[in-house]
Structure 1
Amino acid sequence: MPPLTKAIPLGIQHVLAMFVANVTPAIIVCGAAGFGFGSNSPDFPQMIYMIQMCMFVAGVATLFQTIGIGPVGARLPIVQGTSFAFIPIMVPLVAGKGVDAIAVLMGGILVGGLFHAVLGLFIGRLRFALPPLVTGLVVTMIGLALVRVGIQYAAGGVPAIGTPAYGSGISWLMAATVIFVTLGLKFFARGMLSVSAVLLGLLAGYALAFALGQVNLGNIGRAANFAFPNPLHFGLEFTFASIIGFCAMAFVSAVETVGDVSGITKGGAGREATDKEIQGATYADGLGTAVSGLFGALPNTSFSQNVGLIAMTGVMSRGVVTIGAIFLIACGLLPKVGAVISSIPIQVLGGGVIVMFGMVTAAGISMLSDVHWNRRNMVIFAVAISLGLGLQLEPGALQHLPETVLVLATSGILPAAVIAIFLNLVLPQTLANEATEEVSGGMAGKGTGSLKQE
């Protein structure tokens, strides 16, 4: 534990690195449900509350990891935050249904979190079913399923579609400012300026939007100075689609957490993670998500960008991350912080979202570079991504299915993940060392992570 004079700035640095990604899913889900945008909306306070709880629960879940409770927690400097991976599952469940639909999410989040915690009992034995081909495909699908949201936000948001304001020059000017400032800082700055590039890009876009008269600060003055969390604020409703969707994605989130724990111990301590650490981290991941369902937040997971921050700074102190968690909890108790975040114009947020979702896609492609691209793996990838992405783009193709099945089948991620896992387990491995047949365009997979011309 460094001295407090160093530990406090380092803890705040961890919060800044994950802050935007932590609150963005709440804005996306509220927008999909049809409330939250515009100070005149009667549901606007509900979005502020969800943003608050995403900060509050992220801090609590991080404490589960750093301090631990019995077997819960890796007792490592793991930062927890709201997961992007669940957005393609959540959006269809609430699309256009208003604030009442949030109860369905909370029920699924609670059950999915408890299921996630149970996975800690045998997560090590499940990794055989999730090689880089499957995990890389799933992460890539998460990014591809979300890029449309980024474009819609940058153009003015879903409510503006079909109006003259949609896609206006002012909208794209604000979004482009965020993108260019983010890229400039990421590539040409160092240290904290580079780590916080997305946050600083959003601040630049916000400043421009304010100068253009696009920012409404009225709700900040009306927001309370302090507010305690309200258990079951949105209520709980349990549906088959919600429970199956969240439990399935908990599987993916658990694997992501295992990778983050391994990354922290390798990057910060030069060793492999122990089984106890991996198990404790999975317990904490699931418990944090379950708490989210009780308090009106969204599913939690370990944040990979903070793993990179530990490797960059060399400071592997759970005390430092604990300070960051306390800062997050404090922000979650201050509604004015949520009101400030909710005042960000949707176009500004869109610029940041384009970068973040694009990075999710890039991370998936990076994972796929570890795949041995033989004929077997190419077929698995082709079928899974074609059906997963195709059904998401054209949900009407399954219009005769029951609504519950339709929501899951057109999420994009679930069908792709299920198909990839199934085919990877049942297709024989005997073709692994054979030359790949020539496919369209003369592309053939040879070697690890390559596509060569023959």
Structure 2
Amino acid sequence: MKLEYEVDDKPNFLKSSLLGFQNILTAFSGIIAVPLSIAAIAGTNVAETSVLISAALLASGICSFIQTKGIFKGNAKVGIGLPTIMGTDFGFVPPANAVINTMGGGLAGYFGATIMGALLELILSFFIKPLLKFFPEVVTGTVITLIGITMMPVAFDWVGGGYGAENYGDPLFIGIAVFTFLLIIFINHYGRGFVTTASVFIAMIISYIICIPLNLVDFSQVAAAPWIRMPEIFPFGVKFDLKFVVPFIAGYLVTIIETVGVMKTLGTVCEVDLSDADIASGVRADAIGSMLSPVFGSGAAQTFSQNVGLIPLTKCASRKVALYSSFILIIMSFCPKFATLVSIMPTPILGGAGILMFGTIIGSGMQALSKAKFSTKNIMIIAGGIGVGIGITMRPDIVAKLPSLIAALFSSGISGGTIVAVILNILLVDKEY
């Protein structure tokens, strides 16, 4: 593959702007889906939800700039210096639900846990090589698969109109979700180039427009929202409690493993040789981004793999283009009308997209598992990790009477399943099946 624009190339303003906006279209559904998920979990009103979305856009822009530009030098370098788009990660939604609802921490507890967990990621970024031995492909694949599985009930709640909705399960809601689901598949399968890459975004916009004459969209909140609003510092407060960070530990460990893989892939498609120090700096940028994001009201940050896949498709690896993307995201975050317009999107649309997005995560986990050796040990790791994870997700109250520390460790399916998978990987002796 020959790149049209290499990393250090600088397309003109118009080309950089258009290619930069293309990056945003590819990542946009991922950027807004998590704050919408957190809003649904926390039960925020429309105004509060718009704050979460604006914060996610602002944090995405700032974090993308740091990761793409690269700051500082030597062992303290932060950011890989290659074109990336960062946003909030779905893997942190299950532990967020555990902190906000199960543990009663609310949004303040969620943001505090995000910062404390990011501190752990920052420390571990200096020890990338030895850490990887605890997460072989079988453990990583198990955890990634579990993330998708444990989020699927959330997607189906969205399909029904949102948990606790007055008309939960209304056939109209299900119809909208099914339409969105099928439209994404159609565009993704039959589209070409950028249309395929932006299939989720395109389908959500079309479904949104269809919902307007069906009286499923109320624009009164958009009319009331101001055009410009400055970001707030900790708009929902922050609360630090060590027990809140426990459900996030597994998510951050998985994030490190995923980021290492994304960084290696990024180096390949950008035709750049990366050292261990370069990869560590990328993980470090994820950590710094996850510490900064809650300050504005957003969740943990992670490099989006879909934008890495866009590089060989467009043959554009220009750092300048990615920096333009980060500037556009920051500008968009200052317009509450836009954020509110997104926040009133009917949840069945998100549900239709969510089934495919979470299903894709399951597929990624299965792909990782397919690379692992088919042995008795690995089968037990997969069975134990996924079994415990699903069980806790279905019956979270099962740990309620356990000692507080153990209950916190197993408060979400993802953390419980990861702990079991790691322990089994350490204890079991490998032998052929």
1:34 paired with 2:40, answer no
| 2:87 aligned counterpart, secondary structure | strand
CA drift at 1:5: 2.7
Which deviations, in whole Å up to 9, do the C-alpha atoms of 1:325-368 show, x marking residues without a partner?
11111111111111011110111121111111111111111111
In structure 1, what is the equivalent of residue 377 of structure 2?
376
In structure 1, what is the equivalent of residue 3 of structure 2?
none
| 1:211 aligned counterpart, secondary structure | coil
Counterpart of 1:254, as a letter, is: I
CA drift at 1:405: 4.2
Counterpart CA distance in 2 for 1:379 and 1:354 is 28
CA drift at 1:242: 1.7
Counterpart CA distance in 2 for 1:356 and 1:381 is 22
Counterpart CA distance in 1 for 2:180 and 2:357 is 12
Counterpart CA distance in 1 for 2:243 and 2:146 is 20
Q: Give the aligned length.
A: 420
| 1:81 aligned counterpart, secondary structure | strand
In structure 2, what is the equivalent of residue 241 of structure 1?
243
- Residue 143 of structure 2 contacts residue 385 of structure 2 at CA under 8 Å; is this kept in 1? no
Counterpart CA distance in 2 for 1:307 and 1:301 is 12
CA drift at 1:57: 0.4
Equivalent residues in 2 for 1:164-203, closer than 5 Å:
165-203=167-205
In structure 2, what is the equivalent of residue 132 of structure 1?
137
1:6 paired with 2:12, answer no
CA drift at 1:272: 4.4
Counterpart CA distance in 1 for 2:347 and 2:404 is 30
In structure 2, what is the equivalent of residue 47 of structure 1?
49
Counterpart CA distance in 2 for 1:407 and 1:15 is 37
Counterpart CA distance in 1 for 2:170 and 2:65 is 44
- Residue 256 of structure 1 contacts residue 302 of structure 1 at CA under 8 Å; is this kept in 2? no
In structure 2, what is the equivalent of residue 447 of structure 1?
none
- Residue 289 of structure 1 contacts residue 298 of structure 1 at CA under 8 Å; is this kept in 2? yes
In structure 2, what is the equivalent of residue 156 of structure 1?
161
Deviates more, 1:175-184 or 1:233-242: 233-242
CA drift at 1:124: 2.2
Which deviations, in whole Å up to 9, do the C-alpha atoms of 1:41-80 show, x marking residues without a partner?
xxx3221111101110011000111112201111011211
Equivalent residues in 2 for 1:232-381, closer than 5 Å:
232-269=234-271, 271-381=272-382
Counterpart of 1:10, as a letter, is: L
Counterpart CA distance in 2 for 1:372 and 1:103 is 43
Counterpart of 1:159, as a letter, is: G
- Residue 264 of structure 1 contacts residue 311 of structure 1 at CA under 8 Å; is this kept in 2? no
Counterpart of 1:183, as a letter, is: I
Q: 1:129 to 1:188 in 2, by over 3 A?
A: same
CA drift at 1:396: 2.7
Q: Structure 2: 5+ residue runs without aligned partners?
A: 1-9
- Residue 156 of structure 1 contacts residue 346 of structure 1 at CA under 8 Å; is this kept in 2? yes
- Residue 54 of structure 2 contacts residue 339 of structure 2 at CA under 8 Å; is this kept in 1? yes
Which deviations, in whole Å up to 9, do the C-alpha atoms of 1:307-326 show, x marking residues without a partner?
11112222111111111111
Deviates more, 1:146-155 or 1:231-240: 231-240
- Residue 55 of structure 1 contacts residue 329 of structure 1 at CA under 8 Å; is this kept in 2? yes
Which deviations, in whole Å up to 9, do the C-alpha atoms of 1:219-254 show, x marking residues without a partner?
111111111211122221112222222233211111
- Tell me how large the CA RMSD over aligned residues is: 1.7
Counterpart of 2:412, as a letter, is: S
TM-score (norm 2): 0.93
| 1:370 aligned counterpart, secondary structure | coil
Ranked by relative contact order (alpha carbons within 8 Å, sequence separation 6 or more), the top structure is 2
CA drift at 1:260: 0.8
1:78 paired with 2:79, answer no
TM-score (norm 1): 0.89
Q: 1:403 to 1:177 in 2, by over 3 A?
A: farther
Counterpart CA distance in 2 for 1:426 and 1:122 is 22
Counterpart of 2:13, as a letter, is: L
- Residue 112 of structure 1 contacts residue 246 of structure 1 at CA under 8 Å; is this kept in 2? yes
| 2:270 aligned counterpart, secondary structure | helix
Q: Structure 1: 5+ residue runs without aligned partners?
A: 37-43, 437-454
Percent identity over paired residues: 29
Counterpart of 1:356, as a letter, is: M
- Residue 286 of structure 2 contacts residue 301 of structure 2 at CA under 8 Å; is this kept in 1? yes
Counterpart CA distance in 2 for 1:209 and 1:29 is 23
- Residue 98 of structure 2 contacts residue 247 of structure 2 at CA under 8 Å; is this kept in 1? no
Counterpart CA distance in 2 for 1:225 and 1:402 is 50
In structure 1, what is the equivalent of residue 112 of structure 2?
107
Deviates more, 1:67-76 or 1:243-252: 243-252
Counterpart of 2:154, as a letter, is: V
Q: 1:428 to 1:185 in 2, by over 3 A?
A: same
CA drift at 1:385: 1.2
- Residue 172 of structure 1 contacts residue 347 of structure 1 at CA under 8 Å; is this kept in 2? yes
- Residue 109 of structure 1 contacts residue 293 of structure 1 at CA under 8 Å; is this kept in 2? yes
Q: 1:404 to 1:17 in 2, by over 3 A?
A: farther
In structure 2, what is the equivalent of residue 22 of structure 1?
31
Counterpart CA distance in 2 for 1:367 and 1:207 is 38
Counterpart CA distance in 2 for 1:423 and 1:152 is 33
- Residue 112 of structure 1 contacts residue 250 of structure 1 at CA under 8 Å; is this kept in 2? yes
Counterpart of 1:115, as a letter, is: L
| 2:126 aligned counterpart, secondary structure | coil
In structure 2, what is the equivalent of residue 144 of structure 1?
149
